[in-house]
Chains A and B, each alone.
Chain A
């Protein structure tokens, strides 16, 4: 149930069996079915989720009701509305399951207690956040500076598993493009070869 969680944890910080058991006390195992919400806009994001199995996406709705995908999470990734989680303010993101999921939740309370009591957890979170920040930096740079075809190739290289698994119209939304534009970009790239 916690296999992947601890595998990923140990990649960042090695834990003894006792330390794993200690962390486990704070984790909430939770199943979510396809199309069910993990979080809805307006609610406070009380937990962040680690994906043991399945896939989720985060999106925002604009004033016309159109969805804009802000993030995905596949196995081994962590997702939540971080702003809402840390500040305990209403979330602006919606997060729902694209497939049936097995998640490991970390509540704010559990997170705070672990930060206080376990230096290795603090290291884990620091590395997790640093990785996330670097990914965000790259993604933002690609979004605002690269021409469409290069942007597509860069995203594809950054998230190869995502591109194989997630429907194209969602990838388009994630890249800030319409589905039609994305498919034109893709055909231009394949014509190049």
Chain B
């Protein structure tokens, strides 16, 4: 037996949020979904339950309550919305794992808006000083969650964070949804991870990967 974890996904109706929610709904986890347009959240919940009636997934009215009830919080928000949500969940996210998937892209996807000596994940850690921020899934495209094998290879998800237990927990989540977790190091490695996402986007646009692409470290 294994105690179910509760995961709050804030920004659950977006490309990433819905992709991750659908994948996680097939694992031994309970999901609490939030986004501002509640009708969209409700139809996502119906959609997931139609495919898998046993899934434990629920629409939530408020990000604070969703995060209060959660063991793990995943922010699937545009980078620009993270500050506002962080203020709402700060108190209830105390000591909890908060997963940062965001890439702080500029409007033309040609660069990052953060300065080179920091990252979206480190900003979030500053906003949530008592939470365990873990960078993950940002180097994976939304469409990849439906199929985590490309060209016969399992996509890597690079992970960064300062707390060993939290890195294990997030790695287990990644594995449960079919990705290969690869811990890069402490949270400042997020700078590289966010730049890797930028590079993948650039390559995708240049070579028409059709938004199905990912990183794979080949090794012996």
Contact = CB atoms under 8 A, between A and B. Distances in A.
A30 B1 contact: no
Nearest to A42: B1
B2 A40 contact: yes
Interface string A16-44: 00000000111111111100111111110
A107 interface: yes
A4 B95 CA distance: 19
Contacts of B69: 30-33
A107 B2 contact: no
A42 B71 CA distance: 19
B92 interface: yes
Contact of B130 (A25, A32, A38): A25
Given A30-B68, A30-B69, A43 B95 contact: no
Contacts of B71: 30
B210 interface: no
B130 A29 contact: no
Contacts of B4: 36-37
Contacts of A110: 95
Contacts of B115: none
B165 interface: yes
A109 interface: yes
A82 interface: no
Interface in B64-93: 65, 68-69, 71, 91-92
Contacts of A33: 69
B3 interface: yes
Contact of A43 (B1, B65, B68, B91): B1
Interface residues of B, number: 15
A30 B94 CA distance: 10
Which interface residue of A25, A30, A36 has the most chain B CB atoms within 10 A?
A30
B96 interface: yes
A25 B69 CA distance: 18
A30 B71 CA distance: 8
A25 B92 CA distance: 11
A127 interface: no
A118 interface: no
B132 to A, nearest CB: 10
A105 B1 CA distance: 21
B91 A1 contact: yes
Given A28-B96, A31-B69, 10 more contacts: A26-B95, A28-B94, A29-B68, A32-B69, A37-B3, A37-B4, A38-B3, A41-B1, A42-B2, A109-B165
28 contacts: A1-B91, A1-B92, A24-B94, A25-B94, A25-B95, A28-B94, A28-B96, A29-B68, A29-B92, A29-B94, A30-B68, A30-B69, A30-B71, A31-B65, A31-B68, A31-B69, A33-B69, A36-B4, A37-B3, A37-B4, A39-B3, A40-B1, A40-B3, A41-B1, A43-B2, A43-B3, A107-B95, A110-B95
Interface of A: 1, 24-33, 36-43, 105, 107, 109-110
